[in-house]
Amino acid sequence: MKHARSLFWLSMILVAGCANPQRPVVPTTLKTNETYTTQSAVENDWGSYGPGDGQFAAPTSVATDRSGNLYVADTFNNRVQKFDNAGKHLFSWGSYGEENGKFKLPSGIAIDQDGNVFVSESVNHRIQKFDGNGVFIKRWGGNGSGAGQFNQPSGLACDPSGNLYVADSGNHRIQKLSPGGQFSSWGSFGSGDGQFNQPLGIAIDKDGKVFVADTGNHRLQKFQSDGTFLSKHGTFGGDEGQFNSPNAVVINSGTGLFVSDSGNYRIQRFNKEMKFIEQFGSRGNGSGQLLKASGLATDAGANLFVADSGNHRLVKYGPSYLVRKVGSQGSGDYQFFCPKGIAVNQGGDIFVVNSGGYIKKYDLNGVFLKNIGGVGSQNGRFQSVGPISLDSGGNIYAIDNGRREVQKLDGNGIFISKFITRTNSDMTSGYDAGLCFDSEDNVYIVDASGGCVRKFDANRNFSFKFGVSGKGDGQFKSPHGIAVDRNGFLYVADTNNNRIQKFDKNGRFIDKFGSTGTGNGQFYCPTAIAFNAAGDMYVTEVYRIQKFNDQGEFLLKIGSQGSGYDQFGNLSGIALGPDGGVYVVDYGNHRFQEFMF
């Protein structure tokens, strides 16, 4: 009888949401305030119904190890299958039964930091632990509601400290297993904060926060690692941010939080504040369609893997870095003409330099707030506004090449002060193409046509300049971008030499990297540089963005020439937001774009 109840319970997972077949499928591309979302692209899918290698019978969970291998809970085949990242079957283990290493409807799977595999079973009401080769190690559980007992356990997640979290669905709670074998739990049946109705999915972010797919309550709940309630998100429905029987959640620190919205036959993506980014999928068995997605996983390359239970397959989506793109050519609030610079303050406000002489300000949601400046000779207006940067107080420093000066404005565009960027000997020459601040509030300005960098102290008095035109170490050919890393070193985008050069704060050459080309770590006209808090460096080129670690090692790249998603027409500036978003201005496509990676 218990077996029959569990089969019924699992069948309800697979058909959850079908009671409302008239509910319309929400389109995959949305528009709000001229802000667009993008759809992840299907790279591959594999599997069909059956018991053979690489075949599935309603797979309900998937997990990845550090090498990118995939482990799939092949539920009605009562086994676990292991694949490489491209979908090649490696091996399987398990069969129907109650003995160690056997399964009755495996429904959840997770991998710890050491590569051990944890599998939950909805009929045996237990968790089994294996090594990465499927060798049995130990087990916990048994049917019941006491500590360490389970009632149809489902989703699993491991944190970096070795704790295992279990969505104990039939008991409407979360259980936490410590590395020492102690169980703790939180939750009860209900719809209040911290209560659950058959929770099926669970995930842990890099800060140790716990996200639970509270399936029967059609919402996501967020907790501290000890079960302290933090927030809840979602209601029943088919609009963005609403859910119909969400049953899985996974977090990728680069691309966001993904939720399997099973009853709406789609995946939804959010940022870490649970702000909606995108959705993709619709009901069916075609490419990019889903029929009861029930398991999610990501890998180090930001690929997303979906256990598409109803279609008996696994689907791989390529990285979806784009959060939004804003703008087109024109003079409207959400239009631009050849934007030349961008900056983002700690509150998430976005400042975009428009070639028409204005700096346009938007809030963190991309809603237009105001125009700053305009063409004119008065303070607070510009003759030829160029790149901008923000100081530690959020004040705007805007280069005005028409007047050879930098103006300082507050965050609302009110003029504060200005200083001249040229010495008497070179007042009539040069084009300033970038500026940045160090921790001592010194300003460094790149002179593209003069082939040098000028340093101004905290009082905005000229200190010195370094660099001359040329190809040697410490020389430049039309440099543009400049940035300071967390250790105080200066990095200059040596644009026409197709390289990045590194200097100390006194202008002494330290190192260089890059060469002409389109390969990884090569450059074609690098134009701007930015660093995140971890020390990773982002470099824009004409048609792409590259990311490097703090050792200068290549990590990833996005972009190509064009006007579509993840395409660029001539990148001219970059800035990082407080939530880790990467903002770029696209001079040729008259827009700015935000990415998460």
**Can you tell me which residue has the tokens 């259980």?**
175
| Tokens read off for 501 | 């050069």
Q: Would you place residue 25 in the very low, low, confident or very high pLDDT band (cuts 50, 70, 90)? A: very low
How far apart are the C-alpha atoms of 449 and 470, rounded to whole Å?
12
The listed range with the strongest mean pLDDT (88-102, 261-275, 320-334) is 88-102
pLDDT reported for residue 423: 64
Sign of the dihedral defined by the CA atoms of residues 372, 349, 276, 301, in that order = positive
How far apart are the C-alpha atoms of 405 and 385, rounded to whole Å?
10
**Rounded to 10 degrees, what is the CA torsion of 115, 120, 124, 129?**
10
How far apart are the C-alpha atoms of 305 and 308, rounded to whole Å?
9
pLDDT > 60? residue 24:
no
Please give the mean pLDDT across all residues of the chain: 90
* Number of Cβ atoms within 10 Å of the Cβ of 375: 13
Our measurement of the distance from residue 89's CA atom to the centroid of its chain's CA atoms, rounded to an integer in Å, reads 29
Question: DSSP of 10-71, one letter per residue?
Answer: HHHHHHTTTT-TTSPPPPS--EETTEE---PPEEEEE--BSSSTT-BSS--EEEE-TT--EE
Least confident piece of the model among 52-56, 90-94, 417-421: 417-421
Assess contact for 46 and 87: CB atoms under 8 A: yes
Across 464-493, average pLDDT: 96
Q: What's the angle, vertex CA 452, arms to CA 446 and CA 457, rounded to 5?
A: 65
| Tokens read off for 329 | 């050519």
Delineate the domains of the chain, giving CATH numbers in brackets.
Answer: 43-320 (2.120.10.30), 324-595 (2.120.10.30)
Q: Would you place residue 356 in the very low, low, confident or very high pLDDT band (cuts 50, 70, 90)? A: confident
pLDDT tens column, 249-293 = 999 877 789 999 999 999 999 887 788 888 899 999 998 899 999
Q: Which residues pair with 63 in a beta bridge?
A: 71
Assess contact for 278 and 38: CB atoms under 8 A: yes
Question: DSSP of 516-569, one letter per residue?
Answer: BSSSTT-BSS--EEEE-TT--EEEE-SS-EEEE-TTS-EEEEE--BSSSTT-BS
pLDDT reported for residue 323: 78
- CB-based contacts of 425, cutoff 8 Å, min separation 6: none
Across 384-391, average pLDDT: 94
pLDDT tens column, 116-165 = 999 999 999 999 999 999 999 999 999 999 999 999 999 999 999 999 99
Query: Around 434, how many Cα atoms within 13 Å sit in the side-chain half-sphere?
Result: 28
Across 331-359, average pLDDT: 94
Least confident piece of the model among 37-51, 85-99, 364-378, 508-522: 37-51
pLDDT reported for residue 41: 76
How far apart are the C-alpha atoms of 72 and 62, rounded to whole Å?
4
Euclidean distance between the first and the last CA atom of the chain, given in angstroms as a whole number:
49
Least confident piece of the model among 93-102, 148-157, 481-490, 573-582: 573-582
Q: What's the angle, vertex CA 44, arms to CA 43 and CA 50, rounded to 5?
A: 165
* 334 or 430, which is more confident: 334
Backbone angles phi and psi of 348, in degrees to 5: 90, 0
Across 55-69, average pLDDT: 97
Q: Would you place residue 461 in the very low, low, confident or very high pLDDT band (cuts 50, 70, 90)? A: very high
How far apart are the C-alpha atoms of 373 and 371, rounded to whole Å?
7
pLDDT reported for residue 16: 38
Q: Would you place residue 36 in the very low, low, confident or very high pLDDT band (cuts 50, 70, 90)? A: very low
pTM: 0.74
Assess contact for 576 and 582: CB atoms under 8 A: yes
How far apart are the C-alpha atoms of 6 and 3, rounded to whole Å?
5
- CB-based contacts of 79, cutoff 8 Å, min separation 6: 92, 93, 94, 95, 103, 106
How far apart are the C-alpha atoms of 227 and 187, rounded to whole Å?
8
**Can you tell me which residue has the tokens 């010195």?**
464
Assess contact for 556 and 547: CB atoms under 8 A: yes
Bridge pairing between strands 545-548 and 415-420: unpaired
Our measurement of the distance from residue 504's CA atom to the centroid of its chain's CA atoms, rounded to an integer in Å, reads 32
pLDDT > 70? residue 334:
yes
Q: Which residues pair with 280 in a beta bridge?
A: 267
| Tokens read off for 272 | 């870490």
Residue among 185, 155, 186, 189 at smallest CA distance from 172: 189
DSSP 283: B
pLDDT > 60? residue 581:
yes
Q: Would you place residue 85 in the very low, low, confident or very high pLDDT band (cuts 50, 70, 90)? A: very high
pLDDT reported for residue 226: 96
